[in-house]
Amino acid sequence: MMRHDFTGLWVYLSASPLLGLTLTLLAYLGAWQLHRRAGGHPLVNPVLLAVLALIGVLWLTDTDYQTYFDGAQFVHFLLGPATVALAIPLYAQLQRLRTMAIPLGVTLLVGAATAIVVAWTIGALLGASEVSLISLAPKSVTTPIAMAVVEALGGLPSLTAALVIMTGIFGAMVAQGLFRLIGTDDPAVQGFAIGLAAHGIGTARAFQIGPQAGAFAALAMASNGLVTALLTPWLLPWLSRWFA
């Protein structure tokens, strides 16, 4: 009888969005607690921990991703308004942005091209398939742009989504260690590099460095979205011929 009740409850809950939504928040709050207890260390990344916990729960309960996403989409939806809200920290940094316009533009072009060319070169040398290489090329920019670029070029947009997220998590984890190594201490420069290489997840990390780093990361994320969307279709035929 107990068992029957439990099965009925499970069938009911797994069909409602409540479970996916609540699990997402619980996993994130748990990950955030660990992150805080580790003193906000970048290697204890809250996105990575929450994702691993959720994949574990879904795997143990034999739940497919689509069922989970039916609930989690309410959190996912907030990415849109949150992206629009990045205009507010950007506005606060407007003075400094204006004085740095040309250096920022040059850095943007060089950084965006570096991300694409190095990813393709290493992947090709290690024998990744062409479809995977196309799907990997624009991985430094925010998911909707990267997926649209890859779709137009004949890659796998859903693989791109996974690679984009992995890039963001990795960039957020290693950026500050790398900056210490190469002696970059200006928060504006740090933020711009993180936003350029690791999009929104990097930008979330940059806001933990400070509001100035966050604003510059938001600017780099948005402008690299545009630059990579224009640059990738133009660079890939070259790279493809080079490594054919």
- Which of positions 88-127 make contact with another protein (CB under 8 A)? 88-91, 94, 100, 102-104, 106-107, 110-112, 114-116, 118-123, 126-127
153 forms part of the interface with another protein (CB under 8 A):
no
- Nearest distance in Å: CB 18, another protein: 15
187 forms part of the interface with another protein (CB under 8 A):
no
**Choice between 6 and 74, CB closer to another protein:** 74
78 forms part of the interface with another protein (CB under 8 A):
yes
138 forms part of the interface with another protein (CB under 8 A):
no
- Helix/strand/coil percent split, the chain, to 5: 85, 0, 15
Chain length of the chain:
244
Show Cβ contacts of residue 22 under 8 Å, excluding neighbours closer than 6 positions: 71
Which of 19, 136, 213, 235 forms a contact with another protein (CB under 8 A)? 136
Neighbour-count burial for 134-150, b at 16+ CB within 10 Å, e otherwise: bbbbbbbbbbebbbebb
- Nearest distance in Å: CB 116, another protein: 8
Closest CA to 140 of 78, 201, 215: 201
67 forms part of the interface with another protein (CB under 8 A):
no
Q: In angstroms, rounded to a whole number, what is the distance separating the alpha carbons of residues 217 and 215?
A: 5
